[in-house]
Amino acid sequence: MDQQPQHVTDTKAYTLELGGWYRLARWIIRVLLKTFARLEVEGQEHIPSEGPYLLITNHLHWLDTPLIAVLFPHRVYVFAAEKWEKHWFLGPFFRSLDAIFVRRGEVDRKALRQALTVLEQGGVLGMAPEGTRSRTGGLQQGRSGAAYMAYHAGVRLVPIVLSGQEKVIPTLKRLRRARVRVVFGPPFVPPAIVAGNKASAAEVHAFTEEIMYRLAAMLPPEYRGLYADVAEKRPDLLAQVGAFR
């Protein structure tokens, strides 16, 4: 993602305000989730009161986005796979929430321009640095999209991790409620680069690893996946987690 997206005019207003339909959908989802799961939330004091910033998260289950929408106090704009745009139900639903449809497996410049517009207007953009849902239950290799976006837009990142959501439906079948834990972490920013320059591929890669290790440090060990060595490579991050939990 080393080429600059062309500027286009976007007439939409991307704000932190919760619109009427968004509020209704959020309320319905909140009632359902609290009925069928035991939600535990930590670190909400780390959520900034103003944008713009990236909300970065691990991606384990289709419940991830509803959980974030329910627990996050502001409107957050998320990506959705292009395949859902034509779906009879999910298509209209995602469009009503102003989701950004993206073509998987390629650099989708239209989606990139729309995402940058969200940040330019002071909004919150939700991203999963892994790029796709984990099939193993642990973190996958991080992709460069979130790091590139943070460098290009010059915004901070707020980490949020979720665990236990994959157990909600199997546990319901046993007439029990699963424990779902959600943790927000302190905001952080990309490392400084020389004024007038853009981040190199090496700098974007290094910051991607930083992002992934921060998420790993906030997750229980069984969810850390490819970043299970966080205790060896980044004990400072584990110490930080202990400080804010």
In angstroms, the CA 70 to CA 28 distance is 9
pLDDT at 153: 93
In angstroms, the CA 22 to CA 147 distance is 28
Query: Would you say 185 and 208 are in contact if contact means Cβ atoms under 8 Å apart?
Result: no
CATH of domain 20-244: 3.40.1130.10
| Residue 172 token pair | 């319901």
What are the boundaries of each domain within the chain? Answer: 20-244
Residue bearing tokens 């919760």: 18
Q: H/E element holding 28?
A: helix 20-36
| Residue 62 token pair | 């289709």
Q: What is the pLDDT along the chain (245 residues), one digit of tens a residue?
A: 444 444 444 556 776 766 677 788 778 888 888 899 999 999 999 999 998 999 999 999 988 888 888 888 888 888 887 887 787 777 777 777 778 888 876 667 888 888 999 999 999 999 999 988 899 999 999 999 999 999 999 999 999 999 999 999 999 999 999 999 999 999 999 998 876 678 999 999 999 999 999 999 999 999 999 999 999 999 999 888 766 66
Pairing of strands 100-102, 37-42: unpaired
